[in-house]
Chain A
Amino acid sequence: MKPEDLEFVAALARTRAGLMIGGERAYFVESSLASLARREGAVSAEALIADLRAAPEGPLARAVVEALATPETSFFRDRALFERLGAEVLPALAAARPDGRVRVWSAGCSTGQEAYSLAMAADGATARSPGLRLDILATDLSSRALEKAQSGAYSQFEVQRGLPIRLLLRHFQKSGDNWTADPQLRQAVRWGRLNLMNDFAKLGRFDLILCRNVLSYLEAAPRQGLLHRLAAALAPDGWLVLGAGEAAGLPEAFEPARGGAGLYRRNPTYGRAAA
Chain B
Amino acid sequence: MKMCLVVDDSRVVRKVARRILEGLDFDIAEAGDGLEALAVCRATMPDAVLLDWTMPVMDGLEFLRRLRQEPGGDAPVVVFCTSENEPDRIAEALGAGADEYIMKPFDGDIIEAKFAQAGLL
Contacts and interface: CB of A to CB of B under 8 A. Distances in A.
Same complex for A and B? Answer: yes
Interface of A: 74, 79, 156-157, 160-162, 164-166, 168-169, 173-174
Contact of A174 (B87, B101, B110, B113): B87
A171 to B, nearest CB: 12
Given A156-B103, A166-B94, A161 B87 contact: no
Given A160-B106, A164-B100, A169 B90 contact: yes
A160 B85 CA distance: 12
Interface of B: 85-87, 90-91, 94, 100-103, 106, 109-110, 113-114, 116-117
Contacts of B117: 79, 164
B108 to A, nearest CB: 11
Given A79-B116, A79-B117, A165 B94 contact: yes
A227 B64 CA distance: 52
B100 A161 contact: no
Contacts of A162: 113
A160 B90 contact: no
Closest 8 CB pairs of A and B: A165-B101, A160-B110, A164-B117, A156-B103, A174-B87, A165-B100, A162-B113, A161-B113
Given A160-B103, A164-B117, 10 more contacts: A160-B102, A161-B113, A164-B100, A165-B90, A165-B94, A165-B114, A169-B90, A169-B91, A169-B94, A174-B86
20 contacts: A74-B113, A79-B116, A79-B117, A156-B85, A157-B110, A160-B102, A160-B103, A160-B110, A160-B114, A161-B110, A161-B113, A162-B113, A164-B117, A165-B94, A165-B114, A169-B87, A169-B91, A169-B94, A173-B87, A174-B85
A160 B94 contact: no
A49 to B, nearest CB: 32
Nearest to B79: A165
Nearest to B117: A164
A162 B91 CA distance: 19
A79 B115 CA distance: 12
